[in-house]
Amino acid sequence: MKFFVDTADIDEIRDLATTGLLDGVTTNPSLIAKSGRDFLDVIAEICDIVDGPVSGEVTALDYEGMIKEGEVVLAIADNVALKVPLTVDGLKACKYFADKGRMVNVTLCFSAAQALLAAKAGASFISPFVGRHDDIGQDGMSLIEDIRTIYDNYDFKTEILVASVRHPIHVTDAARIGADVCTIPPKVIRQLSKHPLTDNGLAAFMDDWAKTGQTILK
């Protein structure tokens, strides 16, 4: 499963890129607003750091506006994936850019039916939001299972990009189901490496090592 980081924070992206764990980046208008920076500058800077897909979202709600904005955003770099909302106009824009060979990430997906439409429109990625489903008392991960089944039934190539990830169990559940990508907030990526038994074991090893009085570097 590929790991994307869900942030527009350049320092976080630069730091996580050094781990070799990062396969791409997703942003959205809320994350851009949080960065306090110019949208196009941020996307360009991220594309310089990360070779994989970098999602930048249109803000127009109508087809013509999405096409105009999409041309600008996609001109930044070849690895930009244009993010469009799961609306009829968004699906039309998806088809337009997919037919031109560009990556499109269809976002704000909350049903298997919506995911089916995105695949038929030629999306490279479908972004189902699991955390926001959980927030309203529904099982976000069952949506991922349904989409996996439907895409496999028809051999759709659209990648399932699990979004709105809130904790490490979302990540391991997504991997168990066979999602293609998980986009993960930086804090959750760091949480994935944590286990109290790792910390305890390391502390015990260091205590015992200190008793030997040895050093590896002479």
**Judged by CB under 6 A, does residue 26 bind ligand E4P?**
yes
Catalytic residue among 34, 83, 92, 187: 83
Amino acid identity, position 99: D
Integer Rg of the chain from CA = 20
CA dist., res. 167 & res. 174, Å (int): 11
Catalytic: 34? no
- Could you tell me the smallest distance in angstroms from the CB atom of residue 130 to ligand E4P? 9
* CB within 8 Å of 86: residues ≥ 6 apart: 106, 107, 108, 109, 110, 114, 117, 118
The token duo for 205 is 């090893």
**129 touches ligand E4P by CB under 6 A:** yes
Residue ranges in 140-169 that form contacts with ligand E4P under rule CB under 6 A: 163-164
Minimum CB–partner distance for residue 6 and ligand E4P (Å): 5
To the nearest 10°, report the CA torsion of 107, 71, 26, 119: 40
Stretch that binds ligand E4P, among 62-70, 96-104, 123-131, 202-210 (CB under 6 A): 123-131
The minimum distance between CB 125 and ligand E4P, in angstroms, equals 9
* Active-site annotation, residues: 83
Residues that bind ligand E4P (CB under 6 A): 6, 26, 28, 107, 127, 129, 131-132, 163-164, 183
